Amino acid sequence: MKFFLDTANISEIEEAASWGVLAGVTTNPTLYAREGGKLAEFHDHIVRICEIVDGPVSAETVGLKREEIVAEGVELAALHDNVVVKVPTMPEGLAATRELANRGIKVNMTLCFTVPQALLAARSGAAYVSPFIGRFDDISEDGSEHLANVVAALNNYDFGHDVEVIAASVRHPQHVLQAALIGADIATVPMSTLEKCVKHPLTDRGLEAFLADWEKVKNS
Ligand code: E4P
Protein backbone atom coordinates (compact mmCIF):
# COMPACT_ATOMS: atom_id res chain seq x y z
CA MET A 1 0.00 0.00 0.00
CA LYS A 2 1.28 3.43 -0.93
CA PHE A 3 1.05 6.46 1.35
CA PHE A 4 -0.39 9.75 0.20
CA LEU A 5 -0.49 12.77 2.49
CA ASP A 6 -3.94 14.28 3.01
CA THR A 7 -3.04 17.93 3.46
CA ALA A 8 -2.46 21.27 1.80
CA ASN A 9 0.30 22.20 4.26
CA ILE A 10 3.62 22.69 2.47
CA SER A 11 5.85 22.03 5.52
CA GLU A 12 4.07 18.75 6.21
CA ILE A 13 4.49 17.69 2.58
CA GLU A 14 8.19 18.60 2.63
CA GLU A 15 8.69 16.66 5.87
CA ALA A 16 6.88 13.51 4.66
CA ALA A 17 8.69 13.71 1.31
CA SER A 18 12.02 13.85 3.18
CA TRP A 19 11.17 10.52 4.84
CA GLY A 20 11.17 8.96 1.37
CA VAL A 21 7.72 7.45 1.82
CA LEU A 22 5.49 9.92 0.05
CA ALA A 23 3.81 8.64 -3.13
CA GLY A 24 1.27 11.44 -3.58
CA VAL A 25 -0.91 14.11 -1.98
CA THR A 26 -4.64 14.67 -1.75
CA THR A 27 -6.08 18.09 -1.03
CA ASN A 28 -9.63 19.32 -0.69
CA PRO A 29 -11.21 22.77 -0.24
CA THR A 30 -11.39 22.29 3.55
CA LEU A 31 -7.68 21.48 3.78
CA TYR A 32 -6.74 24.48 1.61
CA ALA A 33 -8.97 26.80 3.67
CA ARG A 34 -7.32 25.44 6.84
CA GLU A 35 -4.01 26.80 5.53
CA GLY A 36 -5.58 30.26 5.11
CA GLY A 37 -5.52 29.67 1.36
CA LYS A 38 -6.72 32.42 -0.96
CA LEU A 39 -8.54 31.74 -4.24
CA ALA A 40 -6.03 33.81 -6.24
CA GLU A 41 -3.16 31.67 -4.93
CA PHE A 42 -4.83 28.26 -5.29
CA HIS A 43 -3.20 27.31 -8.59
CA ASP A 44 0.26 28.41 -7.45
CA HIS A 45 -0.20 26.39 -4.27
CA ILE A 46 -1.03 23.24 -6.25
CA VAL A 47 2.01 23.77 -8.48
CA ARG A 48 4.21 24.17 -5.39
CA ILE A 49 2.95 20.85 -4.03
CA CYS A 50 3.55 19.18 -7.40
CA GLU A 51 7.13 20.41 -7.39
CA ILE A 52 7.76 18.74 -4.02
CA VAL A 53 5.97 15.44 -4.65
CA ASP A 54 6.97 13.02 -7.35
CA GLY A 55 3.50 11.50 -7.70
CA PRO A 56 -0.18 12.25 -8.13
CA VAL A 57 -1.48 15.42 -6.47
CA SER A 58 -5.27 15.58 -6.23
CA ALA A 59 -6.80 19.04 -6.62
CA GLU A 60 -10.55 19.19 -6.13
CA THR A 61 -13.10 20.88 -8.37
CA VAL A 62 -15.93 22.83 -6.77
CA GLY A 63 -18.36 23.27 -9.69
CA LEU A 64 -21.67 21.44 -9.54
CA LYS A 65 -22.44 21.33 -13.28
CA ARG A 66 -20.53 19.02 -15.63
CA GLU A 67 -19.38 21.88 -17.85
CA GLU A 68 -17.98 23.73 -14.83
CA ILE A 69 -16.25 20.63 -13.50
CA VAL A 70 -14.72 19.86 -16.90
CA ALA A 71 -13.53 23.46 -17.34
CA GLU A 72 -12.00 23.50 -13.84
CA GLY A 73 -10.48 20.07 -14.38
CA VAL A 74 -8.87 21.04 -17.68
CA GLU A 75 -7.42 24.16 -16.04
CA LEU A 76 -6.11 22.20 -13.04
CA ALA A 77 -4.62 19.42 -15.17
CA ALA A 78 -2.76 22.01 -17.26
CA LEU A 79 -0.93 23.27 -14.15
CA HIS A 80 1.42 20.29 -13.82
CA ASP A 81 1.75 16.68 -15.03
CA ASN A 82 1.29 15.44 -11.45
CA VAL A 83 -2.18 16.95 -11.07
CA VAL A 84 -5.09 14.54 -10.71
CA VAL A 85 -8.51 16.16 -10.81
CA LYS A 86 -10.63 15.32 -7.79
CA VAL A 87 -14.33 15.14 -8.57
CA PRO A 88 -17.21 14.39 -6.16
CA THR A 89 -19.34 11.30 -6.75
CA MET A 90 -22.59 12.61 -8.23
CA PRO A 91 -24.28 12.40 -11.64
CA GLU A 92 -22.68 15.60 -12.93
CA GLY A 93 -19.36 14.37 -11.56
CA LEU A 94 -19.66 11.08 -13.46
CA ALA A 95 -20.41 12.90 -16.70
CA ALA A 96 -17.49 15.26 -16.13
CA THR A 97 -15.18 12.36 -15.27
CA ARG A 98 -16.05 10.59 -18.50
CA GLU A 99 -15.28 13.77 -20.45
CA LEU A 100 -12.02 14.39 -18.57
CA ALA A 101 -10.95 10.75 -18.97
CA ASN A 102 -11.70 10.96 -22.71
CA ARG A 103 -9.31 13.91 -22.82
CA GLY A 104 -6.61 11.85 -21.08
CA ILE A 105 -6.99 13.64 -17.73
CA LYS A 106 -6.80 11.51 -14.59
CA VAL A 107 -9.65 11.78 -12.09
CA ASN A 108 -9.84 10.84 -8.43
CA MET A 109 -13.52 10.30 -7.64
CA THR A 110 -14.06 11.38 -4.07
CA LEU A 111 -16.81 11.30 -1.45
CA CYS A 112 -17.38 7.67 -2.36
CA PHE A 113 -19.15 5.59 0.28
CA THR A 114 -20.75 2.58 -1.39
CA VAL A 115 -19.97 -0.22 -3.82
CA PRO A 116 -22.46 1.06 -6.44
CA GLN A 117 -20.84 4.50 -6.28
CA ALA A 118 -17.37 2.98 -6.66
CA LEU A 119 -18.45 0.85 -9.64
CA LEU A 120 -19.97 3.88 -11.34
CA ALA A 121 -16.84 5.94 -10.65
CA ALA A 122 -14.67 3.25 -12.23
CA ARG A 123 -17.02 2.90 -15.21
CA SER A 124 -16.97 6.65 -15.78
CA GLY A 125 -13.21 6.45 -16.31
CA ALA A 126 -11.88 7.48 -12.88
CA ALA A 127 -8.26 6.42 -12.37
CA TYR A 128 -8.66 6.62 -8.57
CA VAL A 129 -11.67 5.90 -6.39
CA SER A 130 -11.67 7.24 -2.83
CA PRO A 131 -13.91 5.40 -0.36
CA PHE A 132 -14.09 7.26 2.96
CA ILE A 133 -13.53 5.33 6.19
CA GLY A 134 -13.66 7.87 9.02
CA ARG A 135 -16.90 9.53 8.05
CA PHE A 136 -18.67 6.17 8.39
CA ASP A 137 -17.14 5.78 11.83
CA ASP A 138 -18.51 9.28 12.59
CA ILE A 139 -22.03 7.93 12.13
CA SER A 140 -21.27 4.73 14.08
CA GLU A 141 -20.89 2.51 11.03
CA ASP A 142 -17.86 0.36 10.30
CA GLY A 143 -15.95 2.29 7.63
CA SER A 144 -13.46 -0.51 7.12
CA GLU A 145 -16.25 -2.95 6.20
CA HIS A 146 -17.44 -0.54 3.51
CA LEU A 147 -13.86 -0.16 2.25
CA ALA A 148 -13.44 -3.94 2.11
CA ASN A 149 -16.63 -4.23 0.06
CA VAL A 150 -15.45 -1.59 -2.41
CA VAL A 151 -12.03 -3.23 -2.86
CA ALA A 152 -13.58 -6.69 -3.32
CA ALA A 153 -16.20 -5.44 -5.79
CA LEU A 154 -13.73 -3.49 -7.94
CA ASN A 155 -11.40 -6.50 -8.03
CA ASN A 156 -14.18 -8.51 -9.69
CA TYR A 157 -14.02 -6.52 -12.93
CA ASP A 158 -11.77 -5.22 -15.66
CA PHE A 159 -12.67 -1.62 -16.36
CA GLY A 160 -10.40 -1.32 -19.39
CA HIS A 161 -8.14 1.08 -17.51
CA ASP A 162 -6.24 1.07 -14.21
CA VAL A 163 -8.34 1.92 -11.17
CA GLU A 164 -6.61 2.40 -7.82
CA VAL A 165 -8.48 2.52 -4.53
CA ILE A 166 -7.47 5.30 -2.16
CA ALA A 167 -8.58 4.68 1.42
CA ALA A 168 -9.58 8.20 2.45
CA SER A 169 -10.88 9.87 5.58
CA VAL A 170 -8.20 7.96 7.45
CA ARG A 171 -8.02 9.23 11.01
CA HIS A 172 -5.63 6.93 12.92
CA PRO A 173 -3.13 4.06 12.49
CA GLN A 174 -5.89 1.47 13.02
CA HIS A 175 -7.49 2.73 9.80
CA VAL A 176 -4.13 2.34 8.05
CA LEU A 177 -3.85 -1.23 9.34
CA GLN A 178 -7.38 -2.02 8.16
CA ALA A 179 -6.79 -0.46 4.73
CA ALA A 180 -3.59 -2.48 4.28
CA LEU A 181 -5.20 -5.79 5.31
CA ILE A 182 -8.12 -5.09 2.99
CA GLY A 183 -5.68 -4.45 0.14
CA ALA A 184 -6.37 -0.81 -0.67
CA ASP A 185 -3.80 0.44 -3.18
CA ILE A 186 -3.23 3.69 -1.32
CA ALA A 187 -4.04 5.25 2.05
CA THR A 188 -4.20 9.02 2.15
CA VAL A 189 -3.40 10.12 5.69
CA PRO A 190 -3.07 13.37 7.63
CA MET A 191 0.47 14.17 8.85
CA SER A 192 -0.56 13.55 12.47
CA THR A 193 -1.59 10.00 11.52
CA LEU A 194 1.58 9.40 9.53
CA GLU A 195 3.61 10.49 12.57
CA LYS A 196 1.64 8.11 14.80
CA CYS A 197 2.21 5.30 12.26
CA VAL A 198 5.97 5.52 12.63
CA LYS A 199 5.88 5.41 16.42
CA HIS A 200 5.47 2.68 19.01
CA PRO A 201 6.22 2.81 22.77
CA LEU A 202 8.38 -0.31 22.44
CA THR A 203 10.43 1.39 19.71
CA ASP A 204 10.98 4.36 22.06
CA ARG A 205 11.86 2.07 24.97
CA GLY A 206 14.24 0.04 22.77
CA LEU A 207 15.97 3.20 21.56
CA GLU A 208 16.38 4.49 25.13
CA ALA A 209 17.97 1.16 26.14
CA PHE A 210 20.33 1.20 23.15
CA LEU A 211 21.43 4.75 23.89
CA ALA A 212 21.95 4.03 27.60
CA ASP A 213 23.99 0.94 26.81
CA TRP A 214 26.00 2.79 24.18
CA GLU A 215 26.89 5.40 26.82
CA LYS A 216 28.29 2.53 28.93
CA VAL A 217 30.31 1.27 25.94
CA LYS A 218 31.67 4.77 25.27
CA ASN A 219 32.71 5.19 28.92
CA SER A 220 34.33 1.75 29.22
C1 E4P B 1 -9.24 12.84 0.83
O2 E4P B 1 -9.22 12.69 -0.35
C3 E4P B 1 -10.45 13.28 1.58
O4 E4P B 1 -10.87 14.53 1.15
C5 E4P B 1 -10.15 13.30 3.06
O6 E4P B 1 -9.45 12.10 3.39
C7 E4P B 1 -11.38 13.46 3.91
O8 E4P B 1 -11.03 13.27 5.26
P9 E4P B 1 -11.98 13.69 6.46
O10 E4P B 1 -13.18 12.81 6.45
O11 E4P B 1 -11.15 13.51 7.68
O12 E4P B 1 -12.37 15.14 6.23
CB of 193 within 6 A of ligand 1: the answer is no
CA-26 nearest atom, ligand 1: 2
Render pLDDT for 183-216 as a digit per residue (tens, 0 to 9). 999 999 999 999 999 999 999 999 999 999 999 9
Ligand 1 mean position to 6 CA, how many Å?
Answer: 7
Helix (H, G, I), strand (E, B) or coil at 63: coil
Render pLDDT for 70-106 as a digit per residue (tens, 0 to 9). 999 999 999 999 999 999 999 999 999 999 999 999 9
CB 52 within 8 A of CB 15: no
Sign of CA dihedral 16, 75, 96, 33: positive
CB of 110 within 6 A of ligand 1: the answer is yes
**Extents of the domains making up the chain:** 2-219
Render pLDDT for 19-51 as a digit per residue (tens, 0 to 9). 999 999 999 999 999 999 999 999 999 999 999
Catalytic member of 2, 65, 86, 216: 86
Average pLDDT over residues 57-81: 98
Average pLDDT over residues 39-68: 97
pLDDT at 81: 98
- What is the 8-class DSSP label of residue 3? E
CA-135 nearest atom, ligand 1: 10
pLDDT at 43: 97
Q: Which long-range contacts (CB under 8 A, 24 or more apart) does 150-159 make?
A: 150/112, 150/114, 150/115, 150/118, 151/182, 151/183, 151/184, 153/115, 153/118, 153/119, 154/118, 154/119, 154/122, 154/129, 155/183, 157/119, 157/122, 159/122, 159/123
171 pLDDT tier (thresholds 50, 70, 90):
very high
Q: What are phi and psi of 35, to 5 degrees?
A: -85, 5
Render pLDDT for 102-138 as a digit per residue (tens, 0 to 9). 999 999 999 999 999 999 999 999 999 999 999 999 9
**Mutate-to-test residue for ligand 1 from 3, 5, 6, 172, highest number of ligand atoms within 8 A of CB:** 6
Ligand 1 mean position to 157 CA, how many Å?
Answer: 26
The fold for domain 2-219 equals TIM Barrel (3.20.20)
